[in-house]
Amino acid sequence: MGETSAILVEVFFETLSFWWVIIPTIFLGLIVGGIPGFSAANTIIILMPLTLAMTLQTGLVFMVTLYCSARMGAGIPAILVNIPGTAGAAATPLDGYPMAKQGKGQQALAISFVSSSIGGLLTTLVALATMPILARVGFYMHSVEMIVVMLFGISLIASIASQDMLKGLIAGFLGLMIGSIGTDVVYATPRGTFGFLELYDGVPLIPALVGLFAVSEAFVIIEKRVIVAKEGGAVKGSWTDTFDGVRIALSRWWHIIWTSIIGLIIGVIPGAGASIASFVAYQQSRSFSKTPELYGSGHPEGLIAPESANNGVTSGTLVPLLVLGIPGGATAAIMLVVMQFHGVSFGPSLFESQPKIGYGMFMAMAVAYLLMFFTILPLSRYMSHVTTVPTIYLAPMIISFTLVGGFVPREYMFDMYLALGFGLLGYIARRTGYHVAAILIGIILGPLLERYFLLALKKSDGDISTLFSSNLGNVLWVGLVLSLVLPIYFGRRRKQKVIPT
Amino acid sequence: MTFSNLNRRRFLGTSIAATGLTLAAPRIARAADYPDRNISVIIPTREGGGADRNFRAFTSIWKDKLGTDFEPGFFPGASGRVGYEVYMGKNEPDAYSLIFGNMGPEVLNWAVQAPTFDVNDYFYFGQVDKDPGCLFVGAESKLQTLDDVIAEGKKRKLNVGTSRMAHPASIGLLALGEETGAQFNLIPLSGGKNTVAGAVTGEVDFSVLTSGSVIAAGDAVKTLLVFGENVVGEALDDAPSMNSVYGTDLPEMLSARAFGIHKKAADDYPDRMDHLNTTFKATFDDPALLEAYVASKGTPEYLSYGGIDECEAFKNAMLELGAKYKDLLSGA
């Protein structure tokens, strides 16, 4: 224990000495995270020759910092202009963008930065302390258990639909239908592809994401001829809003802690990711809130939950990579390749053979989050001015950025048309009172639910009772039912208490 | 030569030769010119993956022999199907356009689900490497030997992770089941990363996959059987080959990356095809290739030349095996 502590202290100060790598990389990460279609994973691929040329420790610090800051960067356009940079930020605009429209963009950014930094830092430390235990999570979370986790996220559709249940459910169902396009996961039989080869792997997420949220929003902006922030009041542009945002976030410290832990736990499950974590955290946050009716209207807790959770995922994905040699996500997989190039062999023996590398990755993450807190927070004042850009400039910029973003991941022209198609669908949904977020949840989580469901059935030779065959799965089923029923019960009790007064 | 020697027979002979030379001149000139621009290569997988690294390593040497550079275009999707459809449907058959695919899983795909083009309209002419499939368990699995696997498979149907149903390693497993009477249930886990994770975390009883990804997983897994020759020894835990254990004559179940070309291009431009073949072979004879391959993290033992005949035999074997196991692989 004493030896490990000494290594940790030594690695911490060594990592701090790499500030000259960390700070520029933070800004690079903010940019690539903020541009739809770009991500830490494809940036590391593009910069791989550079990464391979770096020393092992420099490369490690660079990749980890880029990973963390890109995750944080994805929230910025999601809040300011309703463009989630990645699927992991898809739940961020649900409350972040309404805040920006109310002239609270600066406050929302500060809340996002604080909850991301603290959530990321905290989960990194928790992961460091509980690594051997956390690494076991993947041994218990198999397809049956993951079905229930997916249902936690999908049940958010019902919450979103609470104002108009029929329209909400129709939108969610449409999303699930769109999500089922592509080849099935078992026998690769194409379904609903209309002969388009580009749809064989399913509807690509980024074009759907940017189309539904951003392009449709640009159409609305053009139609209403409004400036984003002018809907609720002018942007003040003073430091007060930043401090207010910090105060709001810090006063909800407990909320940051438990939603980031949700992200950490989902992050350590191989194959699960930030999009699942952010929706599950948002759903749980809303379910146990005393003011669930405020969610979706610019409620700070609705912003804190997904941002803390998706940064919790970041540290979570490192656990199976380092302890088991299994990358938890795409970025971790690329890190694996780069580190293997340097002769580092991941797996159970890493912490015995090269403890400085193992602990160093977590320490790099902790230091990156620490420095991000101080370097990015002041920028919220200036970034928020995006919302004051006049419509004639902002709308074309949104559309062109998002179309490029739709193109980048696969470089298919088809994906640009798809983004426009989803933009049109999103616009019609908005104009007719259907919630685009409900459609998107279906598109993102539907294929994952189907995948785990079909795998569970295939493993059990089609026996449906397999869904209730695991103890942990059954505990999760009970948790799911409770998380759906208890809020209704508590809501009624609150109303009953209010009526006598 | 004097005019007095020019008789009718010689005149006719010379005229025919001259005419033939004139007619052939453009083609000879074309051969001399080829290639006068970059060669585009369709890669049906994502940028940054194993195929990309392999392609860059090989073409870094080949380009000097061929005298031009290569421009890769990445068309991932549908287990490689998108890239092949783009190549066959949209690229000119003029030998300026090649495909760099995987003769194992991608050809097996055609047997299970036919593409829109005739599979005989293209052929592979240059194999770069071959990587055999293998059977492996998680480090903490109760099944630690091949005997454990077979004995347990005779008691109950074992769930076996695979990258996808139509994969050479899946065929290897089905053949193992036929040979031993053990029962296996193939579970497609969508990609190598998930297939390794499935075996390690106990989602499945064990997995089958091409060995490169298994070697990369290090201590987390233990290899028990190779569906081909184990040329890397300890890196695959000295696992024996299926044929040596059971006396079968199963062809090697390989992931084999190779360059392919339109058949029409080879028919219309035999000289260009010849130039491609010659320079491809010369690349293998250059010691710099091994250095480039190792630098790109390729397993040196897997670097393996194959010409048109070897590739054709491999492609046909995959199509034949795919047809044989089609029902099991497609759920028909």
The domain that holds B270 is classified in CATH as 3.40.190.150
CB contact under 8 A, B193 and A320: no
Question: What pLDDT was estimated at residue B26?
Answer: 44
Q: Which amino acid would we find at residue A75? A: G
Residue in the structure block whose two tokens are 């995270």:
A33
| Domain end (from B246, B269, B304) | B246
Q: Is residue B8 in a domain?
A: no
Average pLDDT over chain B reads 86
Report the candidate in A473, A459, A327 with the shortest Cα–Cα distance to residue B197: A327
Which residues of B fall within a CB distance of 8 Å from A202?
A: none
Higher pLDDT, A235 or B50: B50
What is d(CA A138, CA A149) in angstroms, rounded to the nearest whole number? 13
Cα separation, B5 vs B2, whole angstroms: 6
Helix, strand or coil for residue B256? strand
Q: Do B287 and B306 lie in a common domain? A: yes
**A303 in Cβ contact with A99 (< 8 Å):** yes
Contacts of B201 in chain A (CB under 8 A): 138-139, 142, 270, 324, 326
Q: What is the pLDDT of residues B219-271, one digit of tens each?
A: 889 999 999 999 999 989 999 999 999 998 888 898 899 999 999 999 999 99
Answer whether B34's CB lies under 8 Å from B273's CB.
no
CA end-to-end span of chain B, whole Å?
Answer: 76
Residue B288 has a CB neighbour count (10 Å cut-off) of 11
Say whether residue A446 is in contact with chain B using an 8 A CB cutoff. Answer: no
* Residues facing residue A117 across a β-bridge: none
Q: How far is CA A7 from CA A13, A128, A364, A369, B220, in A?
A: 10, 13, 13, 20, 25
Of all residues in chain B, the one with the smallest CA distance to A195 is B116
The angle, 0 to 180 degrees and rounded to 10, between the axes of the packed helices B168-180 and B105-112 is 70
B188 touches chain A (CB under 8 A): yes
Contact A200 B77 (CB under 8 A): yes
Residue B245: both structure tokens together: 């254990």
Residue of B nearest to A448 (CA): B190
pLDDT at res. B204: 95
Q: What is the ipTM of this complex?
A: 0.80
Please tell me if residue A271 touches chain B, with a CB cutoff of 8 Å: yes
In chain B, the number of structural domains is 2
Mark yes or no for CB contact A459/B330 under 8 Å: no
With tokens 């010119």, the residue in question is B33
Burial readout A268-277 (b: 16 or more C-beta within 10 A, e: otherwise): bbbbbbbbbb
Looking at the partner chain, which of A200, A324, A340 has a beta carbon nearest the beta carbon of B81?
A200
pLDDT at site A292: 85
Domain finish residue from B246, B270, B291: B246
Which residues form the domain of B70?
Answer: 38-131+255-330
Collect the ranges in chain A with pLDDT lower than 70: 1-2, 37, 161-163, 225-237, 271-272, 328, 345-349, 387, 498-501
| Token representation of residue A209 | 């994401």
Residue A411 forms contact with B (CB below 8 Å): yes
State the helix-helix crossing angle for A330-341 and A56-73, rounded to 10 degrees: 170
Q: Do A185 and B202 touch (CB under 8 A)?
A: no
pLDDT given for residue B82 in this prediction? 84
pLDDT tier, B19 (very low <50, low <70, confident <90, very high otherwise): low
A1 touches chain B (CB under 8 A): no
- In this prediction, residue A478 carries a pLDDT of 93
Q: Which of B179, B214, B246 is the endpoint of a domain? A: B246
pLDDT band at B109 (very low <50, low <70, confident <90, very high): confident
The 3-state DSSP class for residue B115 equals: coil
- Quick check: helix, strand or coil at residue A396? helix
Count the neighbouring beta carbons within 10 Å of the beta carbon of residue A501. 4
Let me know whether B99 and B187 are in one domain: no
The reply to whether B260 and B126 lie within a common domain is yes
Chain A residues with CB-CB distance to B185 below 8 A? 458-459, 461
The full set of domain ranges for chain A reads: 2-498
Q: Are residues B74 and B211 in the same domain?
A: no
CB B290 within 8 A of CB B298: no
Q: Enumerate residues 261 to 300 of chain B having a beta carbon within 8 A of any beta carbon in chain A.
A: 297
Exposed / middle / buried, residue A21 (Cβ in 10 Å: 0-12, 13-18, 19+): buried
Decide which of A384 and B43 is more confident. B43
Q: Which residues of A touch B78 (CB under 8 A)?
A: 183, 188, 190, 197, 200-201
Residues of B with Cβ-Cβ distance to A183 under 8 angstroms: 78
Q: Chain A: nearest CA to B118, how far in angstroms?
A: 17
Q: In this structure, is residue B19 part of a structural domain? A: no
Mutate one of B193, B204, B205, B327 to test the A interface: name it (highest A CB count within 10 A). B193
Other Cβ atoms within 10 Å of A11 Cβ, number: 23
Half-sphere exposure of A278 (CA within 13 A, CB side): 33
Give pLDDT tens digits for A94-109: 999 999 888 888 899 9
Q: What chain B residue is nearest to A204 in terms of C-alpha separation?
A: B77
Q: What is the CATH number of the domain that holds B218?
A: 3.40.190.10
Q: CB of A113 within 8 A of CB of A377? A: yes
| Interface residue B157 vs chain A (CB under 8 A) | yes
Provide the pLDDT for residue B256: 92
Note whether B147 and B92 are same-domain residues: no
Residues B57 and B124 in one domain: yes
Enter the tokens of residue A370: 């620490």
- Whether residue B30 lies inside any domain: the answer is no
- Distance (Å, rounded) from C-alpha A272 to C-alpha A148? 13
Does one domain contain both B214 and B283?
no
